[in-house]
Amino acid sequence: MESSDAVNLKRNEKVSNVYPVLMAGGIGSRLWPVSRELSPKQLIKFTGEDSLLQSTIKRLAPALDTENLRIVCGDKHFDETARQMEEIGVTPAGKIICEPCGRNTAPAILLAVLNILKVEKDAVLCVFPADHVIREIEVFHRKLESAILLADKGYIVTFGIMPSYPETGYGYIEGGKDISYGALTLKRFVEKPDIKTAKEYIKAGNFFWNSGMFAFKASVIMNEFKVFEPELFKRMSDLVAVKETVTKADYEKLPNISIDYAIMEKTDRGAVLPSDFGWSDIGSWKSLYDFFPKDDEGNVIKGDVIAKKTRNCLIIGSERLIAVNCLENMVVVDTSDSVFISDMENTQDVKTIVTELKEKKRKEY
Amino acid sequence: MESSDAVNLKRNEKVSNVYPVLMAGGIGSRLWPVSRELSPKQLIKFTGEDSLLQSTIKRLAPALDTENLRIVCGDKHFDETARQMEEIGVTPAGKIICEPCGRNTAPAILLAVLNILKVEKDAVLCVFPADHVIREIEVFHRKLESAILLADKGYIVTFGIMPSYPETGYGYIEGGKDISYGALTLKRFVEKPDIKTAKEYIKAGNFFWNSGMFAFKASVIMNEFKVFEPELFKRMSDLVAVKETVTKADYEKLPNISIDYAIMEKTDRGAVLPSDFGWSDIGSWKSLYDFFPKDDEGNVIKGDVIAKKTRNCLIIGSERLIAVNCLENMVVVDTSDSVFISDMENTQDVKTIVTELKEKKRKEY
């Protein structure tokens, strides 16, 4: 379904008006004890090499001009974000857009759009969470080309991940009629389904996981904000026009609203681009385990670990020795002040532990 | 079967010629990472209160005169042993007998016997490992009285634990004819059996676990050493006669031999006293778990632990937070430099880990 237009836009012929925008505002409490308020998921070097943020930038670099890169992150993560950009040879100056507090994706995207419009009226934005992984880079680059071509035509494109199983932890996007470049019209967003509904979605074939990755023209999305979120649009436009940096007092007053809810569910310019490039949002220790290559015993082991009779486990060490014996389907994650141990299937329960730590005002939060 | 003689020897009427002797020479690598060469099992405060050594002394105190206490321990554990004695109000002066190196139980017992004979020719020794636990203290005290009465009659008494299940990890003692005070003649020692044999022992009813606890007259055991281990007897007697402290060079030359092998398997003065007082040698993390009282979920938890959906686990924390989720039948033990995680049934495999650490000359050994 890749059309000839997609081929005409040659890879490595980077388009100067395309702006990759990384959403790096999350905390990622689901990967506690490694992810923390001061050390969010996207900045962690799980593999001992690149952080998820760095991997995300490197993944885009062959296809898009990293001089156009913008990263929206929290104030307190500015320094580490800049440091990690420099570490992989990307100058941070002018590329980091700080949020004084998190207000979900709609304000963050609008903030980026308004900033980019100051330098490029004809900009196309490609928006990606900074803490996801993609295994098939070349497939991703081809989809990116298609998305940009669709955005150029005025579509607001969302990358819909072709579901490999009936996941109940994601929202789904229902696709409608064929457009071009393999894309479908965006029929509707649906909330996380129960398992029965999820199985029906898989069977239907036109339902896709909502990945939170988008491509659109700045001018097009601006218009949608004006129409569907006029109050947010006005207040953010005033803030960005008047001030270099937005204060927390101003920003806190903005609505806490996702781009899906603010725009995507309402616009008639939506398109979904079915994508199958080995995507994961690394939303749990299990998904991190699933992403990494396994050793002969099915284990993913990092750090100083002695493992005996142990299979299908994720074990991440820190400064101390971890000795495990007869473990199966388990997760062990060690940090300097905490150890987390769970069976593999229920690692998402870590949220209840993080909530308890927060309530008890413990330093490990 | 408690005879009137046993009753005549009233509890708390401590007999001045009875010497409790604690064997505290072990290292206890089976409880790694808590037990170490420099911090052996008997000196560790697993419960946060008394160490096993301290519990052993306190258990004896109501029945025997702790002024007669002797503790045989390794040179390098002298300071901590003395400190722990003082901590529970027992003066260490003159009570600690140091071994420059471990040569198993026969030399250790002979060393204690020779030292005690310097002050009390008519001594009766009650010998106990310092790293075992006993749940039923009053039953233990009654058995102790019987053992002393039997020792007074010239028997070399070993406490035979009435087996509660066909354990294959212990040696067994076969009892013969009835003597008195519930004791039987000692027919033979048998090595750790296979499961089939262990089941036969249980069925037979006259086989008991070899606990390593003894009572005998000093003069009687001296005679047996002379007869069955004349070489060891002569060399140890010379060492103790000549020197206040035995040097490592001398001690190393002694045979490495157990009291079972040196004396008990050969003597015709042996008696086995069937005992059922909730004994455990704490030979593994599982046996430590079995010994402690459980909470409502069947867990034994010490230290800073958050446990969710977790049942039948032993979790021992140290300085850091341990957060566990959906664990069953597992052991988690944390120390400042190591974490050990194992399923409950195979905690004895820790030995292979300790061996690996030793071979690699790692500090965690």
> A170-212, pLDDT tens digit by residue?
999 999 999 999 999 999 999 899 999 999 999 999 999 999 9
What is the pLDDT tens value at each position of chain B, 365 positions in all? 334 344 444 434 567 899 999 999 877 678 889 888 778 889 988 766 899 999 999 999 999 999 999 999 999 999 999 999 999 999 999 999 999 888 999 999 999 999 999 999 999 999 999 999 999 999 999 999 999 999 999 999 999 999 999 988 899 999 999 999 999 999 999 989 999 999 999 999 999 999 999 999 999 999 999 999 999 999 999 888 876 667 888 899 999 999 999 999 999 999 999 999 999 988 889 988 998 899 999 999 999 999 999 999 999 998 899 999 999 999 999 998 999 999 999 998 898 999 899 888 888 88
One domain for residues B45 and B147: yes
Report pLDDT digits (tens) over B85-140.
999 999 999 999 999 888 999 999 999 999 999 999 999 999 999 999 999 999 99
Classify A307 as helix, strand or coil. Answer: strand
Strand, helix or coil for residue A92: coil
Structure token pair of residue A129: 């969470």
Average pLDDT over residues A124-142: 95
Tell me: ipTM over 0.90.
no
Does residue B329 sit in the same domain as residue B202?
no
Contact B362 A321 (CB under 8 A): yes
Identity of residue B357: L
Residue A110 in domain? yes
* B364 falls within a domain: no
Q: Same domain for A209 and A296?
A: no
Work out the minimum CA distance from B326 to partner chain A, whole angstroms.
Answer: 6
Cβ within 8 Å, pair B349-A326: yes
pLDDT reading at A6 higher than 50: no
* Domain presence at residue A365: no
pLDDT tens string A201-253:
999 999 999 999 999 999 999 999 999 999 999 999 988 887 666 788 889 99
Residues B236 and B325 in one domain: no
A269 and A123 in a common domain: yes
Q: For residue B48, what pLDDT is reported?
A: 64
Specify the pairing of strand A321-325 against strand A305-308: parallel
Please report whether residue A289 resides in a domain. Answer: yes
Peptide bond into B33 cis (omega under 30): yes
Helix (H) or strand (E) holding B189: strand B184-190
Contacting residues for A140 by C-beta, under 8 A, at least 6 apart: A59, A134, A275, A277
* B contact residues 211-270, partner A, Cβ 8 Å cutoff: none
Identity of the residue in A322, A325, A364 whose CB atom sits nearest the CB atom of B349: A325
Scanning every residue of chain A, which has its alpha carbon at the shortest distance from the alpha carbon of B364? Answer: A321
B308 interfacial to chain A (CB closer than 8 Å): yes
| Beta-carbon pairs below 8 A across chains A and B | 106
Question: Looking at the domain assignment, is residue A364 inside a domain?
Answer: no
Is B84 found in the same domain as B33? yes
- Write out chain B residues lying below 8 Å of A362, CB-based: 321
Please answer whether residues B63 and B141 qualify as being in contact, where contact means their C-beta atoms are separated by less than 8 angstroms.
yes
Chain B: nearest CA to A327, how far in angstroms?
6
Q: Which domain holds residue B302?
A: 285-359
Q: Does the beta-carbon distance from A349 to B325 stay under 8 Å?
A: yes
Q: Give me the number of domains chain A comprises.
A: 2
**Domain end (from B256, B280, B304):** B280
Residues 6+ apart with CB under 8 A from B32: A323, B338, B340, B350, B353, B354, B357
B52 domain residue, yes or no = yes
Contact B33 A323 (CB under 8 A): yes
Do residues B202 and B336 both lie within one domain? no
CB nearest B353 (choices: A308, A353, A362)? A308
Q: Is the Cα dihedral A109, A111, A112, A117 positive or negative?
A: positive
The answer on pLDDT for A70 being more than 70 is yes
Least Cα separation, residue B168 to chain A (angstroms): 20
Of B324, B327, B337, the CB nearest to A320: B337
A307 and B CB contact within 8 Å: no
Name the domain boundary from B280, B299, B323: B280
Strand duo A279-280 + B207-217: pairing: unpaired
Interface test with A, best of B311, B320, B360, B365 (most A CBs within 10 A): B320
Choose one of B280, B301, B319: the last residue of a domain. Answer: B280
Is residue B141 helix, strand or coil? helix
pLDDT, tens digit, for every residue of B303-327? 999 999 999 999 999 889 999 999 9
* A275 and A202, same domain (yes or no): yes
Cβ contact A321–B349 (<8 Å): no
Q: Are residues A129 and A156 in the same domain?
A: yes
User: Which residue of B33, B320, B346 is in closest CB contact with A326?
Assistant: B346
Q: How far is B345 from chain A (nearest CA, A)?
A: 9
Q: What is the pLDDT of residue B342?
A: 97
A306 part of contact set with chain B, CB < 8 Å: yes
Nearest CA-CA distance, residue A31 and chain B, Å: 13
Nearest chain B CA: its distance from A323 CA (Å)? 5
CB A96 within 8 A of CB A86: no
Query: Is there a contact between B321 and A308 if contact means CB atoms under 8 Å apart?
Result: no
**Alpha-carbon span B269 to B225, nearest angstrom:** 13
Task: Flag whether residue A361 sits within 8 Å of chain B, measured between CB atoms.
Answer: no
Q: Could you tell me the two tokens for B34?
A: 């808590």
Q: How large is the angle between the packed helices A218-228 and A105-117, nearest 10 degrees?
A: 130
Would A229 be classed as within a structural domain?
yes
> Residue type at A123?
A
Query: A364 at the B interface (CB within 8 A)?
Result: yes
Mutate to test the interface with A, among B32, B339, B353, B356 (most CBs of A within 10 A): B339
Chain B residue numbers with beta carbons less than 8 Å from the beta carbon of A347 are 325
Q: Clarify whether residues A62 and A191 are in a common domain.
A: yes
Radius of gyration (C-alpha) of chain B in whole angstroms? 21
CATH number at residue B221: 3.90.550.10
Tell me: do B157 and B219 sit in the same domain. Answer: yes
Put simply, whether B321 touches A (Cβ < 8 Å) is: yes
Note if the pTM is more than 0.90. Answer: no
Whether residue B183 is found in the same domain as residue B250: yes
Query: Does residue A52 belong to any structural domain of this protein?
Result: yes
